[in-house]
Structure 1
Amino acid sequence: MTDKSPSLFGMVMMADNPLTETLDPKSKPVGCPQGLYGSASQAELSLIMVFNFDFTEGMYKGSSISILGLNSAMNPVREMAIVGGIGIFWLARGYAIAQTHWFDPASVDAIAGYNVTTVH
């Protein structure tokens, strides 16, 4: 990665963020998505995403889903695969549709909503 790369190619970021009921960061926390992003494109901000969405509250408490896929961050809507899960989501498969609702390029912070469909 170089400072001259418009896509931050090669950058790897770890994430351990709150998972909330709504897009409002002050809404009730229901879990914790943990994982990593790696900038995988030299042409645009496109992140390979490996994440575990661990639920700590509510009806899914103690369960998690695992997401893997290319998150083309500048696209308004992105699709990624559900590749597994534990607890109620044991052997889950499906897809997650992500939409960015807020993004700060200076800090690379964002608020994204995920609509997830699973078969388990």
Structure 2
Amino acid sequence: MASGFALTVRFTLRDAAAAQQFDELVARTSAGIRMEPGTLVYAVHTPIEEPLVRVFYELYADQDAFQDHEEQPHTRHFLATREQFLTSTEVTFLKELADVSKRPGMEG
């Protein structure tokens, strides 16, 4: 049985100054996100060889928890403010696979 609602978001930033401002915005926003009961994981990474890229991995208890996250004042502020720092945004919604260890040929 699948659990949770997940997505990744890949942001490409304009330049180093925009990256610094974006990271500050993320830090301020993350404080509120950590208080959301339905947000299970909210991780932000920078690919090693792409200093102007940020990759978010987000996992919510369910789609309702994601919707609740989207409606929070801190999230709305982030969504309204982020565009000035970006050149592109790519969102990928993820579907959890059934327990891989129970698939034929995957034992071991």
Output the TM-score relative to the length of structure 1. Answer: 0.24
- Which one has a larger percent strand, Structure 1 or Structure 2? 1
Highest RCO, 1 vs 2 (Cα 8 Å, sep ≥ 6) = 2
Greater Rg by CA: 2
